[in-house]
Amino acid sequence: MEVVTLGTGSPIPDANRAGAATLVRAGNATLLIDCGRAVVMRLVAAGVFPPMLTQLLITHLHSDHINNFNDVLTTRWIMSPVDNPLPVIGPSGTAAFVDQTIAMLKDDIHYRLEHHNDLNWNPSCTTQEITSGVAWEAEGVRVTAAPTDHRPVSPSIGFRIEADGAVVAIAGDTIPCAGLDEICAGADIYVQTVLRPELIKAVPSPRLQDVLDYHSSCAQAGATAARAGVKTLVLTHLVPAPAPGTESEWIAEAASEFAGEIIVAADLQSIST
Ligand SMILES: [Zn+2]
Ligand SMILES: [Zn+2]
């Protein structure tokens, strides 16, 4: 399997880090997990046009994880030669979000259907909501979901992707919890969204302090990786974005709990099992 960290940024805009999105090439499938800021540009840079996606997996409905969903959906629609519904798997609420996005796009959908004679179907999704268990199994791949803890944001889920005898865990935003341990158990690659509490505490913004209690710190991500017997820990969704040259500090914090390989991801970094 191959993991490509398409977007490693957070809600705080950064010129070099797109929003939350990870690509996983597994078996015969091309999976996109979350679809934050600039995801379509990063997908194309990784060699994937939206019509080529096998599944979109959504961890939760925070805007930084879904705010470019409309671009994925519309670009897939207008680039596909035949009707090509986008398969979407996400937590409860995903179907309503999909329906509301399509409703938001009604003027654009009308313009294009009127203008293009060979385009005579609406953009659409096949949407599946899940809390836990096997979410999808085909193309030599099995995707399992488990509930994570991003409260008060609820529900949130993480994904365990199995193919070719390897395991990739995509955690999304969460603090350590039983569901996270479940998807990470024995994983070859564990991708975790993280923050560095000391850096956030140094910023005198009450709104920023609020994010401390529902994200994993680097040390917590390391502890989860150690407990689950993970081989490689990938840190992403970095809050705040590391100043160039300080990546080793992020690694050191995770390494205080975990002796395996630790990667501070950059956009479009490829990691293989
Ligand atoms: Zn979130
Ligand atoms: Zn987030």
Q: Encode pLDDT of 149-204 as tens digits.
A: 999 999 999 999 999 999 999 999 999 999 999 999 999 999 999 999 999 999 99
- The whole-number pLDDT of residue 192 equals 98
Q: How far is the CA of 35 from the centre of ligand 1 (A)?
A: 12
- The whole-number pLDDT of residue 103 equals 98
- The whole-number pLDDT of residue 106 equals 98
List, as own/partner pairs, every contact residues 117-126 make where C-beta atoms lie below 8 angstroms and the sequence separation is at least 24, other chains included.
Answer: 119/78, 121/83, 122/77, 123/73, 123/74, 123/76, 123/77, 123/86, 124/83, 124/85, 124/86, 125/73, 125/85, 125/86, 125/87, 125/88, 125/98, 126/85, 126/86, 126/87, 126/88
Q: How far is the CA of 211 from the centre of ligand 1 (A)?
A: 9
Tell me: pLDDT of 135 over 90: yes
Q: How far is the CA of 138 from the centre of ligand 1 (A)?
A: 28
- The whole-number pLDDT of residue 226 equals 98
User: Is-catalytic flag, 14?
Assistant: no
- The whole-number pLDDT of residue 180 equals 98
Parent domain of 264: 2-272
Q: How far is the CA of 248 from the centre of ligand 1 (A)?
A: 25
DSSP-derived letter for residue 242 is P
Tell me: pLDDT of 227 over 90: yes
Q: How far is the CA of 64 from the centre of ligand 1 (A)?
A: 7
Give the number of the ligand closest to the Cα of residue 238: 2
Task: Give residues whose Cβ lies within 5 Å of ion ligand 1.
Answer: 62, 173
- The whole-number pLDDT of residue 213 equals 87
pLDDT digit string, tens, across residues 77-123: 999 999 999 999 999 999 999 999 999 999 999 999 999 999 999 99
The total of structural domains in the chain comes to 1
Q: How far is the CA of 210 from the centre of ligand 2 (A)?
A: 13
Give the number of the ligand closest to the Cα of residue 174: 1
Crossing angle for the helix pair 69-79 and 94-104, nearest 10 degrees? 60
- The whole-number pLDDT of residue 220 equals 98
Give the number of the ligand closest to the Cα of residue 150: 1
pTM of the model: 0.97
CATH number at residue 212: 3.60.15.10
Name the band, by pLDDT with cuts 50, 70 and 90, for residue 224: very high
Query: Of the listed 64, 173, 188, 267, which one is catalytic?
Result: 64
Give the number of the ligand closest to the Cα of residue 64: 2
Percent above pLDDT 90 for the chain = 97
